[in-house]
Amino acid sequence: MESEAYIQVLQKLPVRGVIDINVLFIGDIVGSTGRKALKASLPELKSKYNPHIIIANGENAASGRGITSAIANEFFNWGIHGITMGNHTWDNKDIFEFIDDEPRMVRPANFPPGTPGQGYTVIKANGKQLAIVNLQGRTFLPAIDCPFRAADDIVDELRLKVKCILVDFHAEATSEKIAMGWHMDGRASMVVGTHTHVQSNDDTILPGGTAYITDTGMVGSKEGILGMQREAVLYKFKTQLPARFQVDEGKWQFHAVFAELDETSGKARRIEKIRMYEDEWRMD
Ligand SMILES: [Fe+2]
Ligand SMILES: [Fe+2]
């Protein structure tokens, strides 16, 4: 049996063949409050986690509805390398002006054929590369093409070129998201859920080596309802009348996940939830 001193020496030796890609994935950024939280949080996150690649969901970045070219460029200037979208992709008409010319942005790949934009891309940054795929669920969401078959087609082809693949599965039902995690286990490096804006407590590495979480959570006001002012949301629930939702400007929360991926095998080594709060300014 090795002595304690010998084990300590072994632990300090570099492990041959192990090269990681550190990935930070940030949940739905909601409006000006979410953008303020992103700008405030990124420096601390970069120094703590040293991410090679940072991906964020931007479907709610412009007033809670879609994204603009100016906001996307602001994210890229702050160090975001890739942006994923979701069911709010088309809510701000500015997207039609730039999505076809923006290689760092993806919208759900299972939108109908001919839809502007792309469903997957390869992000290259800091000497690393990560394919990102955006898919949308169809349980309690519009009936679009099958996300599972779209995942089969895209991920199997991407794996011929890129070892590490992140799938942002933008979906409502926890069952559909867990099903996608198992469907992609051993084929994608990460399957991370978005859309519910509520971080789930089930981050795990599946047996085939896929890092998984049902929902990453959101970046925006924690005093509203999913980032929007609660008065209008409550009014709509209580009266069933139409109401215009506005971004809440209360204290923010920041939800994300961090993962270490083995660059050689494409398997995940670690996934960790990140939760930060403006009024507490701490990481859990
Ligand atoms: Fe969202
Ligand atoms: Fe959504």
Contact 32, 247 (CB under 8 A): yes
pLDDT tops 90 at residue 16: no
Sign of CA dihedral 147, 149, 155, 158: negative
For residue 29, the SS3 value is strand
For the record, the structure tokens of 187 come out as 């084929």
Mean pLDDT of 258-269: 97
pLDDT tens, residue by residue, 230-260:
999 999 999 999 999 999 999 999 999 999 9
- For 21-280, CATH number out of 3.40.50.800, 2.30.110.10, 1.10.3720.10, 3.60.21.10 equals 3.60.21.10
255 is catalytic: no
Cα-to-centroid distance, 170 and ligand 2 (Å): 6
Q: pLDDT at residue 4 above 80?
A: no
The mean predicted confidence, pLDDT, of the chain is: 94
Predicted TM-score (pTM) of the model is 0.93
Tokens, residue 93: 């008409």
Q: How far, in Å, from the CA of 250 to the mean position of ligand 1?
A: 18
pLDDT for residue 164 is more than 60: yes
Q: How confident is the model at residue 10 (pLDDT cuts 50, 70, 90)?
A: very low
pLDDT digits (tens, 9 = 90+) for 180-205: 999 999 999 999 999 999 999 999 99
Binding residues for Fe cation: 28, 59-60, 87, 170, 195, 197
**What is the helix, strand, coil percentage profile of the chain, to 5?**
25, 30, 45
3-class DSSP state for residue 182?
helix
**Ligand 2 is an ion; residues with CB less than 5 A from it:** 86-87, 195
Residue 143 burial by CB count (10 A; 0-12/13-18/19+): exposed, middle or buried? exposed
Delimit the domains of the chain by residue range: 21-280
CA atoms within 13 A on the CB side of 175: 3
**Per-residue confidence at 136, pLDDT binned at 50, 70, 90?**
very high
What is the mean pLDDT of the segment spanning 34-62? 97
